[in-house]
Structure 1
């Protein structure tokens, strides 16, 4: 199978729907996470203090040619509660990155992140034909690293002094990946965990 680049699509599970991100999601997302320093602690954007600033953040993400962004809709409320993205997709290399993810605190340690990643990984491996999906995160962001490990991703290495944070300090980036032949086992594990209840 020849890999395909992502295109705007809707991915629907039992708990969440991922749909193409638009500025129209700004009001919901500001309600979910506006002004919350902890939500945006590791996200390389200014913390939005108004719905208009949230809309500006979303527009910057939408306009990034390396990014295919999704709004995460919680089906129980019909409201957007977070953002997640595909980055740097390459059909030739059969690879893409999942990142730029954040959620309002009200859905932390719930089924939202697990099902969002299950939908993204299923689409990447089974619909787009990717052979490798990767993640990278700040070396100080242990919560994100643990969440990535729980998906079944493997640690690849650490790129030192790879990106400047908002405060001017420098982070090391910790890289993880999952390969297509690892996906069936990871999918079974994630499906079982999702059925068992909240886990983050």
Structure 2
């Protein structure tokens, strides 16, 4: 089971999301490019964001924990990410539903956030497998996942029905516990 706690490096903090983060999250999500490959733009309006917070971000705390990503120097909310789909029988979970403000993409934010989530998953929860999924055509996301050291496992065709009625083919990646110690060392060198 997940615990609601703050995880941090010297540059960012992952804070369990609360209503206090919503204004910053709304501001972070306003560039349309962020939502090109995402299933739903939950920052479209303040009401949409509030509905997402109450209905999705708080859904089944035994299976997920949703974090606001906060830049420590500026104290600015720069996005959100989550650890979810906890499978306690198989000791697996997924990292995703991440968005980072366009101003903070290709900075240190994603590496630090994913490092913290992976440490929590493997070191604190003793999970054996972490999954990452993204749209097959979202090459920016696929590249970011690969830079973490995740292994590409293939494409799942027509994996998700999108809001516009089309289907997403999903690029699937994973990190397993045997690979984590070496990947952890590599990520720490990047921090």
Counterparts of 1:45-194 in structure 2, within 5 Å, are 45-46=40-41, 48-65=43-60, 66-194=63-191
> Structure 1 residue runs of 4+, over 6 Å off?
none
Provide the C-alpha distance between the structure 1 equivalents of 2:149 and 2:97, rounded to a whole number of angstroms. 19
Are 2:39 and 1:44 equivalent residues in the alignment?
yes
Deviations 1:126-178 (A, max 9, x none): 11100111101111111111110000011112111011222221111111100
TM (norm. structure 2) is 0.93
* CA spacing shift, 1:51–1:163, aligned 2, 3 Å: same
* Unaligned stretches of 5+ residues in structure 2: none
* Unaligned stretches of 5+ residues in structure 1: 195-200
How many aligned residue pairs are there?
A: 189
> What residue in structure 2 maps to residue 198 of structure 1?
none
Q: CA RMSD in A?
A: 1.4
Would you say the 8 A contact 2:25–2:43 is kept in 1? no
TM (norm. structure 1) is 0.89
Deviations 1:105-134 (A, max 9, x none): 111111100000011001110111001111
